[in-house]
């Protein structure tokens, strides 16, 4: 028979295991970006005209415990530079050159923390802020993105936008024909659909 001392030791070990980070991580849910159902767009100004670039090539994941956002959170979203289309082939080529697409094929956002700003209507609050870092052509830039979250058939859609000064990424605003220059401040819009991982 198992004595009292053995039973107590077993209970203590179980409690310690439950508090271990690996055990806590097991309670987190894994969501992945739905292929082809997401979009990233940037809007820019240049001398005499505006332009934009967009892509549906968004990939990534987020892992967190719904209703317990103060706990462990991690994730990332990747956008392929080569798939961003501005509508003009020459401008696309120049953008890829500036972003060093061959050496750094992806723009990457690394998620580090989720801060709730509203009541939960699904896995996430209706409004929250995604804190982390943006990595463009190897340069890391801290970033916080306010987003709206909408439940969608067991998944959720995240929509948000943020300003970005390309000079903070070490990129000089490009010029064309001496008098046409792109402004350094661009606006980025995101629409990401996450689904529960199988």
Six token digits for residue 83:
């798939």
The total number of residues written for the chain in this structure: 198
Is 22 part of a structural domain of the chain?
Answer: no
Does 161 fall in a domain?
Answer: yes
Q: Enter the pTM of the model.
A: 0.80
Dump pLDDT digits (tens) for 114-163: 998 866 666 788 899 999 999 999 999 999 999 999 988 778 999 999 99
- Tens of pLDDT, residues 14-57: 433 344 444 444 478 899 999 889 999 999 998 888 999 999 99
Cα torsion 135, 194, 116, 68: sign = negative
**Total structural domains within the chain:** 1
Domain that holds residue 61: 27-196
> Domain for residue 110, yes or no?
yes
Split at pLDDT 50, 70, 90, the class of 197 is: confident
Determine what percent of the chain falls in helix, strand and coil, rounding each to the nearest 5. Answer: 20, 50, 30
**CA neighbor of 186 nearest in space, from 30, 67, 16, 52:** 52
List the structure tokens of 166: 């390309």
First and final C-alpha spacing in the chain: 43
Is 4 part of a structural domain of the chain? no
């Amino acid at each position: 028979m198992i004595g009292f001392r053995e039973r107590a030791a077993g209970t203590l070990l179980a409690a310690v295991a439950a508090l271990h980070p690996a055990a806590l991580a097991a309670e987190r849910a894994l969501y992945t970006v739905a292929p082809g159902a997401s979009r990233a767009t940037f809007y820019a100004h240049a001398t005499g005209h505006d332009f934009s670039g967009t892509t549906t090539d968004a990939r990534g994941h987020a892992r967190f415990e719904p209703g317990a956002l103060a706990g462990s959170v991690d994730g990332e979203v990747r956008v392929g530079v080569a798939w961003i289309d501005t509508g003009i082939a020459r401008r696309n080529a120049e953008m890829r050159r500036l972003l060093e697409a061959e050496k750094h094929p992806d723009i990457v956002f690394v998620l580090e923390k989720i801060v709730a700003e509203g009541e939960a209507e699904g896995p996430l609050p209706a409004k929250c802020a995604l804190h982390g870092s943006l990595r463009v052509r190897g340069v890391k830039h801290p970033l916080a993105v306010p987003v709206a979250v909408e439940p969608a058939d067991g998944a959720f859609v995240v929509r948000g936008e943020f300003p970005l000064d390309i000079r903070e990424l070490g990129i000089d605003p490009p010029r064309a024909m001496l008098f046409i220059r792109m402004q350094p401040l661009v606006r980025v819009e995101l629409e990401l659909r996450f689904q529960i991982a199988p």
